[in-house]
Structure 1
């Protein structure tokens, strides 16, 4: 009896579903020789390669499948996804344009168009493509999720929540939908609901490692550390070499627990091929060696992790310097801008400064007040001032009034009793001129910390955000510290009464005294809870999540001295004219 190619294809598809990727690829290649005119074997070979992390080689197989059967849509869609994964966006777009010219009412192609534009940073055209996909196929769940992701990227978490709810109505048993729903709820600071959604996702698909990881992250942010550890251990049972799982778990464990985990980290490091995986594993290994007292090994792994990070995200200091010049040129020191009219609503309290300077601790202190809402690190101000920051628009009275209205309109929902809220995006130090002008009712709390302690903390920590590429290079950290000093000198000259400087070293020595000063500056009556920030039940979403739960201490003050040799490139790049009060000790 002659072999049936369709039965063979089903067998190969079964291997793919079982995760037996190399066996599937080998079987698909064998089938291509037996049935050289059948396109689906080349397509299956390409899929096996993609799932095994080799999109580059997969491209040739998808092209072969398309040549064998131009009317077979799946290889073309897979080709586009592979090209997008490889960042070959122009080629992907050219392929899409040809296919859309032939099939303009194909919702899958419009969905792929949206993905391609999203990856290329063309958010507006990506959303238009997602809209078109949904017009053609309102039941396409992944198109709802794509548009939700695009809306979250531009800070429209309410719109994203609507899209996630629409996806949920169409796929109520989808773990991915529940996970994206949790992301939208987190963006709206609806933390309890976000945790419920991700717990539901984990129940729907206990084997989804991405879901397990997000569940662990949200549990940890909520202060449920033991449960977060258990979720990470389940993840590592399924994926023993998971960089995210290993990196996050070592942050939560004791030295003894991490010593037992070290061989697993070293095995994962040995097998890791991509810098994106290596950098997390290097930082995980560094954390363990630091706990075990091996300073040399800790320093080596930190250096390797930062080197991998720097290869992925080279820092453009010239662009940052040009941005600083553009912003400061709009606020000359001898001409303070006239303030806009204050708007009704809770008082904004901006907690800012260099990253790792104590902003999370300070937010937890202020938001422990029952009438204060902790909004976390909002990117709202940065998004709304993009035209001014880019030099594409001026900043007069009309723009200031528009900024105030738009900023308040974009705020997350808060309890009715809220009198003030904290926006603790550290990098808002760049934008004080805009914010102080647009929001005359706002208060500013500026954390001041020894830049060498800041640099040490940054150097030992991985920051995944795209704008944080400078954190992987000591000289770049110093350059950004110099720019920070230039910004703050201008704002303190223009708005001296509006900005409270809080020295970190003094704050951790006298938490009650400084909590009283913070209350006074923010127009609040002091409550004892403000002096116990570690008891604040609010979620913490920053790299300081684990430190802030430990209670206030001064162990990190002056810690740079033990690492003075490693920090030498940073200190050498500091501008002494900008840091005249920096002691040599």
Structure 2
């Protein structure tokens, strides 16, 4: 056959257009004239692989390396054929031969590492992956990528990575970087897709798995995140970080007993790691194991002296007594400019609590103020928040709210949403309800915000925005959103007819809940504004409550919350039951009866003994709701009243008068 280069080009075009059988015939004819044509042999091998003729492909690539014994690329092609034919041992030898010919052959190191991982030769595999990274021809590009990321030039970083992917379509580091950029934009679905593409090519790439776990968790896909963490741990059971990742995801899914086991495993690998002791302490607290919890926090402190987080964890038990030595050490952390603001702030909150317990309210308030000011990364803009509330109220009109999800034919669990501000008695109501035989307590679920996010993505498809899109959605689309919520929460439920979703900021989502889950029950946990706002001011939150670190912001936020609830009462009369904390404390049985009646349930006496419920509780009030009800917290704000003028001014006389009867 003449014109060999043109024949090669034709064969490549046939393969590219999905016609491997035609390419095979062309190449066989070409090889009749020249059986040593290496390019034709390689193309023939690929055409056979595309047709699933793996054994024949192996024979062709074996011919290829006999013809071209010094070609490292040919041995790599042969190794790939062996893998497709499930001959892993021979594939290893072929990659090793390729590396003998070219020790800087990055892809051979990479794929050899994959094979060694499959045969559980962990240390050899790690060596191969390190060599692959060392030899990566794109390494200089990623130096530029890292510099761009350092300079927050995300556009350049993305452009560089996409340039790499134009020539190496599955480069793990390029895909990992793009996924990181997507995560920063909260495009978690896109990040997951990118990472799964990378893992299909690089199934043992640790960074891809770690990022996948994180983004699945962002999306509320907790069981998938747990499975991914278990997969990662299987790569190397001696890595304490993998056990810890699994422990975190199990806790995120409300599987606290299993999480504790995973933390114990991590601790067996690194018994002197302060952070593992700390996080393990959080799970013990949730499970009500108070003594063991304290021991874990104290051990964390012993291992890490710059540990404001552990001091705050102890203070957040609400009834822990600090020694004079503890207080002295917390003060030193607070005063030392070299201590990271996050650690100093938490030490300050804990020290303030210690002074409050000693009835030194002036010193306590000064420390609370300083701790709040030290809290890093707080970004609350009142004007932006007011606008977001206004948009919600404008979108959820009586007309829009008349449309609800289509009815389902089968019985489904009924969610009970407890909404309001944090530190308003929501955990107390949850504990009372969860003591009823028909109601299951869960935790502060992110499932409804995740469902709102799905509505936002739906809005983009319809070229509009949330919440305006709610006026356009059909009954079936509303039903699908409600079903997605129930599917996500299934991981936290065990089959009771009712379950509780106690995420306070869901007060924004009352209209949305009403439309997608017509059967849902909604309860507003409300408390006097001075009590609520001061209690928040004294609380350090891990994330999510940026309004709580300034008294004026707290007053502003409280007013917006009350205005939002007034709107729901106007457009959805009798939908939301307001439970005033002060009434619950002073007339507990009558208020519990009222609460259960709103849920359509009969009174059960064990709801009065809520403190005997041994369920896991994962909030700042977890210790308080394990005690009989008491009223000493109702007037605690008076001890700080002389310092609360900024709060009172922000609340305004109208709000203060509205709640005056609950003083």
Measured against the shorter chain, the TM-score band is: 0.7 to 0.9
Distance in 1 between the 2:339 and 2:494 partners? 51
Deviations 1:489-514 (A, max 9, x none): 12112333332221101111233332
1:458 aligns to what SS in structure 2? helix
1:359 match: 426
Calculate the aligned-residue CA RMSD, in Å: 2.9
Q: How far is the alpha carbon of 1:534 from its aligned partner?
A: 2.0
Aligned 8 A contact 1:255 1:291 in 2: no
2:585 match: 508
Aligned 8 A contact 1:400 1:434 in 2: no
Q: How far is the alpha carbon of 1:285 from its aligned partner?
A: 1.5
Match runs of 1:80-229 below 5 Å: 89=154, 93=158, 96=161, 105-229=170-294
Q: How far is the alpha carbon of 1:131 from its aligned partner?
A: 2.1
1:139 aligns to what SS in structure 2? coil
1:59 match: none
Deviations 1:375-425 (A, max 9, x none): 211122222224278446234443432322221121133665411000111
Q: How far is the alpha carbon of 1:160 from its aligned partner?
A: 0.8
Distance in 2 between the 1:78 and 1:251 partners? 44
Match runs of 1:242-391 below 5 Å: 242-252=307-317, 256-271=321-336, 272-309=338-375, 312-333=377-398, 336-343=401-408, 344-386=411-453, 387=456, 390-391=466-467
**Quick one: which of 543, 548, 572 aligns to 2:625?**
548
Aligned 8 A contact 1:323 1:390 in 2: no
Distance in 2 between the 1:78 and 1:532 partners? 62
Q: How far is the alpha carbon of 1:527 from its aligned partner?
A: 2.4
**Taking structure 1 as reference, are residues 258 and 497 closer, same or farther at Cα in structure 2, changes over 3 Å only?**
same
**Taking structure 1 as reference, are residues 72 and 533 closer, same or farther at Cα in structure 2, changes over 3 Å only?**
farther
1:482 aligns to what SS in structure 2? helix
TM-score (norm 1): 0.80
Q: How far is the alpha carbon of 1:79 from its aligned partner?
A: 8.3
**Taking structure 1 as reference, are residues 521 and 257 closer, same or farther at Cα in structure 2, changes over 3 Å only?**
same
Residue 600 of structure 2 is aligned to residue 523 of structure 1: yes
Distance in 2 between the 1:543 and 1:529 partners? 23
Distance in 1 between the 2:147 and 2:323 partners? 37
**Quick one: which of 599, 612, 634 aligns to 1:535?**
612
**Quick one: which of 485, 489, 492 aligns to 2:569?**
492
Distance in 1 between the 2:643 and 2:487 partners? 46
**Taking structure 1 as reference, are residues 87 and 210 closer, same or farther at Cα in structure 2, changes over 3 Å only?**
farther
1:457 match: 535
2:215 aligns to what SS in structure 1? helix
2:642 aligns to what SS in structure 1? coil
Q: How far is the alpha carbon of 1:180 from its aligned partner?
A: 1.8
TM-score (norm 2): 0.71
Distance in 1 between the 2:267 and 2:274 partners? 9
Q: How far is the alpha carbon of 1:488 from its aligned partner?
A: 0.8
Q: How far is the alpha carbon of 1:331 from its aligned partner?
A: 2.2
Q: How far is the alpha carbon of 1:102 from its aligned partner?
A: 7.4
2:484 match: 406
Aligned 8 A contact 1:77 1:112 in 2: no
Deviations 1:248-295 (A, max 9, x none): 123348665343311221222233443222221211211111122221
Distance in 2 between the 1:78 and 1:174 partners? 28
**Taking structure 1 as reference, are residues 226 and 95 closer, same or farther at Cα in structure 2, changes over 3 Å only?**
farther
- Could you tell me which runs of 5 or more consecutive residues in structure 2 were left unpaired when the two chains were aligned: 1-133, 460-464
Aligned length: 515
**Taking structure 1 as reference, are residues 209 and 100 closer, same or farther at Cα in structure 2, changes over 3 Å only?**
farther
Deviations 1:296-328 (A, max 9, x none): 22111111111122x521212222212111111
Match runs of 1:376-455 below 5 Å: 376-386=443-453, 387=456, 390-391=466-467, 393-395=469-471, 396-398=473-475, 399-413=477-491, 417-455=495-533
1:138 aligns to what SS in structure 2? coil
1:227 aligns to what SS in structure 2? helix
Deviations 1:98-152 (A, max 9, x none): 6666766542443344334434544344324422331232112332121011010
Deviations 1:16-62 (A, max 9, x none): xxxxxxxxxxxxxxxxxxxxxxxxxxxxxxxxxxxxxxxxxxxxxxx
Distance in 1 between the 2:138 and 2:596 partners? 63
Residue 637 of structure 2 is aligned to residue 571 of structure 1: no
Aligned 8 A contact 1:340 1:440 in 2: yes
2:251 aligns to what SS in structure 1? helix
Aligned 8 A contact 2:395 2:468 in 1: no
Distance in 1 between the 2:142 and 2:334 partners? 33
Distance in 1 between the 2:372 and 2:145 partners? 32
Q: How far is the alpha carbon of 1:349 from its aligned partner?
A: 0.7
2:499 aligns to what SS in structure 1? strand
1:445 aligns to what SS in structure 2? strand
Q: How far is the alpha carbon of 1:557 from its aligned partner?
A: 0.9
1:327 aligns to what SS in structure 2? helix
Aligned 8 A contact 1:286 1:297 in 2: yes
**Taking structure 1 as reference, are residues 213 and 487 closer, same or farther at Cα in structure 2, changes over 3 Å only?**
same
Distance in 2 between the 1:82 and 1:286 partners? 42
